Structure 1
Amino acid sequence: MAEPDQPSTARMIDYWLGGAHHHPVDVAAAGAFENAYGPCAAIFRALRDFLGRAVRSIADAGVDGFLVFGAGVPTCGNVHEVAPDATVLYTDVDPATVRLGQRLLADSDRAGYGYGDATDIGTVDPAQLHRFVPGWGRRPVGVVFLGLAAFLDDDTLARTLDELYEAVAPGSFLAIDFDSEELAAYPDALAMMGPAFRMRAPARFAPLLGRWQPTADGIVPVAQWRPAGAPEPVPDAFYGALAVKPAG
């Protein structure tokens, strides 16, 4: 397989998480971003740890099927690794990331990877959805929506989350994160994120959830969401929440 000539955000995050599925072009891009902002590994570890705690909480509630949007590389504590008894469908819109994910999960009978655009649930392959998230629309599932809100305007994000709310059964969960205004103080790093990148003040987060109801934990910096011990001392770049479609 030829070395890619363009960096991938998914592989850059894999690098920051200490994974093995990245290339020199990704390491170089990660280094350039760190030169403009600062060390990122701890921040992305905190976000991945939030994912793990949220997924375990969903699994502890009896949910055993997950649909993951913007999944990136399915390693380093991703959903099927922290909920090994669940079935998981990972999706992404980047063809190279989808191919990598399919290769990594080729021998798994509990996790699959396919194309899926969170803003259009119809792009998810129905056969894969039926296989890896059985009972979709009929019994509770977990939806993972990390790393996406920052690239959707308010109207698109609110519509997308409402469509997902309509699609899932009562008792389903949504794990989501939002990007704070952390990068506002680092214009060079902010420029690297591209024109679609949207920072939001924390007060703007809750209204965008629409009918999804956050748990009592609220929407908090990811390191402060049900930490196992003292929260990691990382910048509040990401806020996270676990929300539910109430049963009954």
Structure 2
Amino acid sequence: MTEKFSINTEIPNAGRVYDYVLGGSHNFEVDRQAAEYMISLLPSLPSTRKWVRMLRMFMHQSIKQLAAEGFEQFLDLASGLPTVDHIHQILPDAKVVYTDNDAATIGFAQELIGKNDKVRYLQADVRDLESMLISAEMETFFVKGQRVAIGFNAMTCFLTHEEIAQLMKTLYAWAPVGSKLYASFETKDATAMTPKLAQFVDMFDQMGTPYRFLTLEESQQLISPWPVDGAGFRPLAEWLDLEDQINLEDREGVELEFYGVHLIKG
């Protein structure tokens, strides 16, 4: 039974901020103000919203493809609020486990989901995922030995290289054979930085959540031991057939790019 959760509408919440940027309605004025301020620090406001929505479109495309391949179990990491056409809404017959490390986000999310026997929302930090993966709730919810589709999107910028590498190893060791992982990676030119982007990164540092960019080469190295499935790392615009919608301004002056990839446990 989910306890009644008291929502604090005076302090911005990361899940609600992201919901606002995606065009959702489960947010408050304090979240909208925080989102607009953060976005204002980047050189191009339209570009920021464009990238965020493309990340969500990549998730949608990936889960639909995996459902067509017969996947019935989905694990979503660092989920935030499950709103704006999230997995359980697109695939109502699938079993879905959402995770987040923020208790406030989880409490709000559980109220939004309501009673749904096919959905669980568990507290877990991607930096220490193993205890959640082997928990009794996971063991009894997912069918043991049945492959799982795992989503890891828009999170690499908040993790160190070591944390990403360890997460990939932990997931690979846990996942049943045939499982797939769909992930997105934010990259830029390793040597490029603009004053506005530096201010944006510094704001996260001050909040105690360092913001890091990878290069494509680093991203490709950090997925080990997962083999690549299909065409490998591709820009999100290529995945979505939206290449004509990305222009020079969208690169933020640092060759900014978002890559998507599908991985498989053989």
Query: Normalized against structure 1, the TM-score is what?
Result: 0.89
Instruction: Tell me by how many angstroms 1:147 deviates.
Output: 2.5
Moved segments of 4+, more than 6 Å: none
Instruction: Tell me by how many angstroms 1:119 deviates.
Output: 2.5
Q: Is 1:216 the equivalent of 2:236?
A: no
How many correspondences in the alignment? 242
Instruction: Tell me by how many angstroms 1:244 deviates.
Output: 0.7
Structure 1 segment 37-76 matched on structure 2, within 5 A = 37=42, 38-39=44-45, 40-76=48-84
Residue in 2 that maps onto 1:15? 20
Unaligned runs of 5+ in 2: 1-5, 251-255
- Contact in 1 for aligned 2:7/2:104 (Cα 8 Å): no
Instruction: Tell me by how many angstroms 1:148 deviates.
Output: 2.1
Identity %: 27
| Distance across 2 between alignment mates of 1:166 and 1:232 | 39
How large is the RMSD of aligned CA atoms in angstroms?
2.0
Instruction: Tell me by how many angstroms 1:217 deviates.
Output: 2.4
Instruction: Tell me by how many angstroms 1:193 deviates.
Output: 2.7
SS for the counterpart of 1:117 is coil
- Encode CA deviations 1:170-214: one digit per residue, 9 max, x unaligned: 100111111212893322222223262210111111110002122
SS for the counterpart of 1:90 is strand
Query: Normalized against structure 2, the TM-score is what?
Result: 0.84
Instruction: Tell me by how many angstroms 1:24 deviates.
Output: 1.3
Residue in 1 that maps onto 2:188? 181
Residue in 2 that maps onto 1:104? 112
Greater CA radius of gyration, 1 or 2? 2
1:130 is matched with which residue: 109, 133, 139?
139
| Distance across 2 between alignment mates of 1:77 and 1:214 | 27
- Contact in 2 for aligned 1:71/1:92 (Cα 8 Å): yes
What amino acid maps onto 2:74 in structure 1? F
Q: Is 1:202 the equivalent of 2:202?
A: no
Q: Is 1:82 the equivalent of 2:108?
A: no
- Contact in 2 for aligned 1:115/1:123 (Cα 8 Å): no
Residue in 1 that maps onto 2:253? none
- Contact in 1 for aligned 2:185/2:260 (Cα 8 Å): yes
- Contact in 1 for aligned 2:130/2:170 (Cα 8 Å): no
Unaligned runs of 5+ in 1: none
Instruction: Tell me by how many angstroms 1:2 deviates.
Output: 4.9
| Distance across 2 between alignment mates of 1:221 and 1:25 | 33
| Distance across 2 between alignment mates of 1:22 and 1:141 | 31
